[in-house]
A and B are shown apart, each in its own frame.
Chain A
Amino acid sequence: MAYPVFASGDVLNASDMNAVGLWLVKTQTVGSGVTSVAVSSAFSSSYDSYLVTYSGGAASTNPVLTFKLGASATGYYNSMPYVSYAGTTAQAVYAANAANFNWAGYCGPNYTGIHAIVSDPFLSKYTRISAFYQAENEAGTMGGIHKVASSYTDFTIGVSAGTLTGGTIRVYGLRN
């Protein structure tokens, strides 16, 4: 077998399957007109790091998307440099000891966008996040750390304003 190119009828050898780097572990369809979506059983001992995406939905306005671990509502530190598509001067936002990660993504009437790497949420260590922020008028890359050394299996995506309708949240485990 010429891994990673598989042919019809190939035997799925353990050595090949164990080399698959990204595994879809959770899919959650978003309902209509909700202000937040809690996703359970997303993180486990199987993976240290995860890719979380949210696409295909729509928002009632133009809010930022927030990200919270379990029920923890403190200890989130995050910042983000960003640049307007029409300007050359970088700006920045930041928050210390916030109630959630503030800039995990962005959405509007025509899209929802989260592309975030979440590291060590299941381990009883500080969880870190790196996410792309693609607004309609500017873009940035945020980073953050949750300074609570606890284990989490669940997360919640929220909005700063308005509501979300539709789309799919996907969680991929990055093979250890």
Chain B
Amino acid sequence: MAKRPLIQIDDTVREMTKAEYEALLETGWTPGEETPDATDEPA
């Protein structure tokens, strides 16, 4: 199972909880692999 993304609270960095990860996905967040020619429209 893939690890969930990291979040930082002040100086502490930790893996997201399942609930935090689900909330992040609801915002429309994507892993966003780097693409050199990515457009950056602020949609």
Contact = CB atoms under 8 A, between A and B. Distances in A.
Question: How many B residues are at the interface, by size bracket?
Answer: 20 to 34
B13 interface: yes
B42 A35 contact: no
Contact of A137 (B9, B10, B32, B40): B40
Contact of B13 (A32, A40, A158, A162): A32
Interface string B12-43: 01001000000110011111111100111111
Interface residues of A, number: 42
Contacts of B23: 73
A136 B31 CA distance: 20
B32 to A, nearest CB: 3
A80 to B, nearest CB: 7
Interface in A72-110: 73, 80, 82, 93, 99-100, 102-103, 106, 108-109
Contact of A38 (B5, B9, B28, B43): B9
Contacts of A32: 13
B8 A159 contact: no
B32 A61 contact: yes
A140 B38 CA distance: 18
Given A62-B40, A135-B40, A35 B30 contact: no
A153 interface: no
Contacts of A80: 42
A53 interface: no
A99 B39 contact: no
Interface of A: 28-40, 60-64, 66, 73, 80, 82, 93, 99-100, 102-103, 106, 108-109, 133, 135-138, 140, 158-163
16 contacts: A28-B11, A29-B11, A31-B8, A32-B13, A33-B5, A35-B29, A37-B7, A38-B10, A93-B43, A137-B40, A138-B40, A140-B42, A158-B27, A160-B29, A160-B32, A161-B29
Given A108-B40, A160-B32, A162-B30, 10 more contacts: A31-B13, A33-B6, A34-B7, A35-B6, A37-B8, A38-B8, A38-B9, A62-B40, A73-B23, A102-B42
